[in-house]
Amino acid sequence: MPLSTFIFDLDGTLLDSIADLADAINRMLAEHHYPTQPMEVFPLYIGDGVRALVERALPPEALARGELDARVADYQRHYADTWNLQSKPYEGMLDALHQMHAQGHAIGVLSNKPQAFTTLCCDHFFPGIPFFEVRGARDDVPRKPDPAAALDMLASLGVAPEDAAYIGDSGIDMEMATRAAMIPIGVRWGFRDEAELLANGAKILIDHPRDLLNPSLLSG
């Protein structure tokens, strides 16, 4: 049966945002005279939500002093200044999303990024894309890899999980899709590597957004 619905991760899947995320973290660290982090560590820091991102970036002494909550607030203040400096949709993504919608597929976004920033990024970088829902991290719903949010999004459309795919770039994304009984599609252009995607249940791997238009993929 053809897949009817596709839900996407945001950072590392739809949006190449790592430079702006790293910039905000390093501004927060520099503000408090902590060592900044090199770009190569950030692919492993991102994906579990903002609190985990900040916790991984902070030095042990800051965590020992109980600074995490305050530094999360500092990071979000800085990210409000950096979120659109270098971020951009991955090449070919906007066209693929438009074509998927034109073919009658429902498309949505589910991210561990805070709701306000998830909405802001989708509105700014994907204007005119009719997402059926854009959902970020909220206090009332557990984050990925818990499948509750994805299942709630599908239920709002009356779509069975087996008729839907989740597209992401991390093991967390693949685990969530598997737990939700959705089709897990891993992207090779994101922040994590192919081995992590496969180890966490990826059934399909794609190399470019245009692969989302492959009839064999859309058929499930």
**199 and 93 share one domain:** yes
CA distance 90 to 96: 10
116 & 204 share domain: yes
pTM of the full predicted structure? 0.96
Taking alpha carbons only, the member of 4, 17, 2, 5 closest to residue 126 is: 17
Other C-beta atoms closer than 10 Å to the C-beta of 107 total: 22
Out of 52, 82, 112, a domain closes at 82
Q: What is the CATH number of the domain that holds 171?
A: 3.40.50.1000
Tell whether 214 and 126 lie within a shared domain.
Answer: yes
Give 46-74 pLDDT, tens digit per residue: 999 999 999 999 999 999 999 999 999 99
Name the domain count of the chain.
2
51 shares its domain with 112: no
Residues 154 and 199 in one domain: yes
Same domain, 108 and 64: no
- Predicted confidence at residue 2, as pLDDT, reads 78
> What is the predicted pLDDT for the residue at 215?
79
Q: What percent of the chain has pLDDT over 70?
A: 98
Work out the percent of the chain whose per-residue pLDDT is above 90.
95
pLDDT over 70 at 218, yes or no: no
Same domain, 54 and 124: no
How far is the C-alpha of 84 from the C-alpha of 218, rounded, in Å? Answer: 31
Exposed / middle / buried, residue 76 (Cβ in 10 Å: 0-12, 13-18, 19+): middle
108 and 196: one domain? yes
Q: State the pLDDT at residue 28.
A: 99
Domain boundary pick from 60, 82, 104 = 82
Instruction: Cite the active site residues.
Output: 9
Same domain membership, residue 33 and residue 124: no
Domain of residue 192: give its range. Answer: 5-16+87-218
Domain final residue pick, 82, 115, 133: 82
Give the span between the Cα atoms of 3 and 90, in whole angstroms: 23
Residue 106 and residue 211 in one domain: yes
Residues 194 and 210 in one domain: yes
Note whether 137 and 57 are same-domain residues: no
